[in-house]
A and B are shown apart, each in its own frame.
Chain A
Amino acid sequence: MAKKKVLGCSLNLIIILAVVFLALIVISFIGGSVGALITGGEPLSIFAVHPPHPQLPAEHPFPNLPITNTMITAWISILVLFGIFFAATRKMRLVPRGLQNLVEFIYETAAKFIEDPAGKKWGRIFLPVCFTIFLFVLANAWINLLPGFETIKMNGEPLLRNANTDINVPLMLAVISFISVEYWGFKAKKARYLETFFNFRPLGLGFKQLFTGKIKAGFGGIFNGIILVVAGILEILSHFIRMVSFTFRLFGNMTAGAILSLIMIFLVPFVVPAIFYGLEAFFGFVQAMIFGGLTLGFACAAVMAEE
């Protein structure tokens, strides 16, 4: 009799694994802190997890130095990125192998992703900023997922913490993205880029028509012009609101992910947090892609010629 195989294992093994996992979930839930509340007893010592105390501002592990733990993590992720790309570009071969192959694959995927909407010329200019933002956010998010990362303590404070959960890091990235987009806009359209924000020309044209006798066309022109002026003000506002939403999107997602994993570990100490760990890895990638991709999208909108 040929044995049925599911996911590369025999069916019996799968059933045994499922039973073990289910038992772990149930036992850890009942034996954990929540189960202790329901049954009124003490939580079993191996399942007991302290309830999470989220702290939004970054901690200072060294009392005398103005260095926060998120800063240290950001430096580490910069070093890791630098190390990977440095190691990959030593001894370059025409036919890439190993690490060089991987890095070239990442770079080419990103280049294609950026040159698709931006075109060859602008894609080359956008690539450094968008790709660096993507890599930095991704490295920050994934370094945080190393086991035991936040458990290293120094003077009672965690020495390392996900840099994306400090609001200064997303804010800094958002400001960089904002400045780059405005710079590219000016570079592409010179002074005409200001017309995106202050478009008084149709209004002036309307007044001119009004005073030269074309009453009907003049009023129409003035009405149109006022709408365009208001649209310009809204455009200015949207450029600044963009920065705020950039900041809070990344900060909120990462903080919420961290708190969610903590709460899941608190509720069900075994098995279930692994699912949320995987979700965290996925969302770190998605958020990095969104940060880089949105910068790219706004940059494309800024340099696009208006009809």
Chain B
Amino acid sequence: MEGESVKLLAAAFAMGVGTFGPGIGIGLLGWGAMNALGRNPEARGPIMTNMILAIAFAEAIAIYALIVAILLIFVA
């Protein structure tokens, strides 16, 4: 394989594998928040805020993979 195609493959692989874990994590967070919401609908505000915060943390890991992919395509 040529260098350029390896680069593209590597970037695609980084995104594909790197978003796998955060996807599961965000799903778990949503699951937990929905459970909490079902049990305690009055606490909607705090649950939403904390869920969004936690989702942003999980998403940050996918963002790291994205940075690696961007670096692979545009810089490496």
Across the interface, B56 reaches (CB within 8 A) one of A55, A255, A286, namely A286
Contact A56 B60, beta carbon cutoff 8 Å: no
Any B CB within 8 A of the CB of A273: no
Interface code B60-74, partner A: CB below 8 Å = 1, 0 otherwise? 100110110011001
Q: Is the interface of B mostly helix, strand, loop or mixed?
A: helix
Interface code A280-296, partner B: CB below 8 Å = 1, 0 otherwise? 00010011011001000
Q: Chain B interface residue count: which class? A: 10 to 19
Q: A11 to B52, alpha carbons, bound, how many Å?
A: 33
Question: Which of chain B's residues has its CB closest to A282's CB?
Answer: B52
Question: Which of chain B's residues has its CB closest to A254's CB?
Answer: B63
Interface code B39-76, partner A: CB below 8 Å = 1, 0 otherwise? 00000000000001100110110011011001100110
Q: A248 to B65, alpha carbons, bound, how many Å?
A: 10
Any B CB within 8 A of the CB of A266: no
Contact A56 B53, beta carbon cutoff 8 Å: no
Q: Chain A interface residue count: which class? A: 10 to 19
Contact A248 B67, beta carbon cutoff 8 Å: yes
Contact residues in B for A259 (Cβ distance below 8 Å): 70
Question: Which of chain B's residues has its CB closest to A251's CB?
Answer: B67
Q: A56 to B75, alpha carbons, bound, how many Å?
A: 8
Q: A249 to B53, alpha carbons, bound, how many Å?
A: 13
A54 and B53 in contact, given A245-B60, A252-B63, A252-B64 (Cβ under 8 angstroms): no
Across the interface, B60 reaches (CB within 8 A) one of A54, A249, A255, A293, namely A249
Contact B52 A286, beta carbon cutoff 8 Å: yes
A56 and B70 in contact, given A253-B60, A290-B57 (Cβ under 8 angstroms): yes
Contact residues in B for A245 (Cβ distance below 8 Å): 60
Contact residues in B for A255 (Cβ distance below 8 Å): 67, 70
Q: A293 to B53, alpha carbons, bound, how many Å?
A: 10
Q: A251 to B70, alpha carbons, bound, how many Å?
A: 12
Closest chain-A Cβ to B66's Cβ sits at a distance in Å of 5
Closest chain-B Cβ to A142's Cβ sits at a distance in Å of 17
Q: A196 to B2, alpha carbons, bound, how many Å?
A: 50
Contact residues in B for A283 (Cβ distance below 8 Å): 56
Contact B66 A256, beta carbon cutoff 8 Å: yes
Contact residues in B for A287 (Cβ distance below 8 Å): 56
Closest chain-A Cβ to B27's Cβ sits at a distance in Å of 19
Contact residues in A for B75 (Cβ distance below 8 Å): 56
The 5 closest A-B pairs by CB, nearest first: A252-B63, A249-B60, A252-B67, A286-B56, A256-B66
Return 17 A-B CB contacts under 8 Å, by A number. A56-B71, A56-B74, A56-B75, A249-B60, A251-B67, A252-B63, A252-B64, A252-B66, A252-B67, A255-B70, A256-B63, A256-B67, A256-B70, A283-B56, A286-B52, A287-B56, A289-B53
Interface residues of B (CB under 8 A from A): 52-53, 56-57, 59-60, 63-64, 66-67, 70-71, 74-75
Interface residues of A (CB under 8 A from B): 54-56, 245, 248-249, 251-253, 255-256, 259, 283, 286-287, 289-290, 293
Contacts A56-B75, A249-B63, A252-B64 known; 14 new A-B pairs at CB < 8 A = A54-B70, A56-B71, A56-B74, A245-B60, A248-B60, A248-B63, A252-B60, A252-B66, A252-B67, A255-B67, A283-B56, A286-B52, A286-B56, A290-B57
